[in-house]
Amino acid sequence: MSKVLQTKPKQARNKKNMLVRYGRMNALGFFEHHETKISKVNNRVVVKTDKGLELGYLVGQLTSYRGGQFKLNSNQVKEYFDNSDIDLACDRAGKFLRYATTEDISEERHLQKITKDEIECCRRFIKELDLPMKIVDAEHIFGGERIIFYFMSDGRVDFRELVKKIAHEYQTRIEMRQIGSRDEAKLLGDVENCGQECCCKRFLKLLKPVNMRMAKMQKATLDPSKISGYCGRLKCCLRYEDKTYTELKKRLPKKNTRVKTKHGQGRVIGTQILTQLVVVEYESGEKIAVGVEEIEIIPSPAATEKKQSSTPKNKKENKKR
């Protein structure tokens, strides 16, 4: 009787994730890997995405990994980046291939140089075809699979003939992506008047709407040169403190509200949100700024009458119950 050899089924290797920033638009995503230890020195990595081979930057390599596994789960990471206004897809963006070598870095520099020539070539073809579009930047994928051109236009553009010409010139796949003014700032942005690099270029990936209400609440002036960013639109940083400003404003009385302070009775003629000061004009004509905690709001006669008229009715209803 022959013995039946029983073999244990092979256990699937634990899938580990690393967080990588990659691509010309500085996308952020998780990449599967099987490294037992994450390097704390070399933070450039070669990854495989749906576009091809790309060079990226390893995120959080000093403190965010334990045994090669990213410490936070996908929900914790998503919550953190949602609160930080950074767009992050918790689905895997691709696979980690290897840590970047000196040859990889050298190849990246070479591609950056020839990309300038590719942009000029594309602009020349656009002029020949008389297309209503403006080339902003280009990205030559590290693996050489394709060249991505970023362009701006007021409407839709038929660039099929343009793509054929460029593909014939460089013998590779060509991709055209239309972007807006905020994306242009993300690609080409420089130092803002705060002294820091544009937020959208440095870390901000999810460009949420910014409206004039935020500007009016936070700025003493609405001069476009003071409240507009590199892209010509309202600065993204106006969103950062909007929640705080809104909460602080709720604590302040409205204009013309009658109040009582240690100096007497008067009416509110102005407020300062950050300092939580209320400017009160007294019956004598004197104007004094006092802290919001030092004032007592005097109910208006209409509000007092309404309260008094509703009291008997409430008592009557309570008796019936």
- 15-73 confidence digits (pLDDT tens): 788 888 898 888 888 888 888 778 777 779 999 998 889 999 988 776 677 777 777 76
**Residue 48, helix vs strand vs coil:** strand
Residue type, 288: I
**Residue 205, helix vs strand vs coil:** coil
By percentage, how much of the chain surpasses pLDDT 70? 82
With a cut of 60, say whether residue 321 has pLDDT above it: no
Which pair of tokens denotes residue 292? Answer: 């919001």
Assign 4 a pLDDT band (cuts: 50, 70, 90).
very low
How many C-alpha atoms does 2 have within 13 Å on its Cβ side? 3
Q: Whole-angstrom Cα distance, residue 269 to residue 123? A: 58
Across the chain, mean pLDDT equals: 82
Q: What is the pLDDT of residue 188?
A: 84
Residue range(s) in the chain whose domain bears CATH number 3.30.300: 105-179
* 105-179 belongs to CATH 1.10.760: no
Q: How many CB atoms are closer than 10 A to CB 236?
A: 22
Contact 152, 185 (CB under 8 A): no
Cα–chain center distance at 282:
46
Residue 178 has φ and ψ, to the nearest 5°, of -85, 135
With a cut of 50, say whether residue 86 has pLDDT above it: yes
DSSP code, position 193: T
Residue 128 has φ and ψ, to the nearest 5°, of -65, -40
Residue range(s) in the chain whose domain bears CATH number 2.30.30.140: 251-297
Question: Could you give the angle at the alpha carbon of 138 between the alpha carbons of 134 and 141, nearest 5°?
Answer: 155
Cα–chain center distance at 163:
31
**Residue 260, helix vs strand vs coil:** strand
Residue type, 199: C
Pick the CATH number of 251-297 from 2.30.30.140, 3.40.630.30, 2.60.40.10, 3.40.50.300: 2.30.30.140
Assign 3 a pLDDT band (cuts: 50, 70, 90).
very low
Q: What is the pLDDT of residue 150?
A: 95
Residue 77 has φ and ψ, to the nearest 5°, of -65, -45
How many C-alpha atoms does 202 have within 13 Å on its Cβ side? 11
> Which is nearest to 96 in space by CA: 19, 187, 42, 27?
19
This model's pTM is above 0.75? no
- 242-301 confidence digits (pLDDT tens): 989 999 999 999 999 999 999 899 999 999 999 999 999 998 889 999 999 999 998 876
> Which is nearest to 237 in space by CA: 194, 187, 189, 183?
194
Q: How many CB atoms are closer than 10 A to CB 174?
A: 21
Residue type, 313: K
Higher pLDDT, 205 or 181: 181
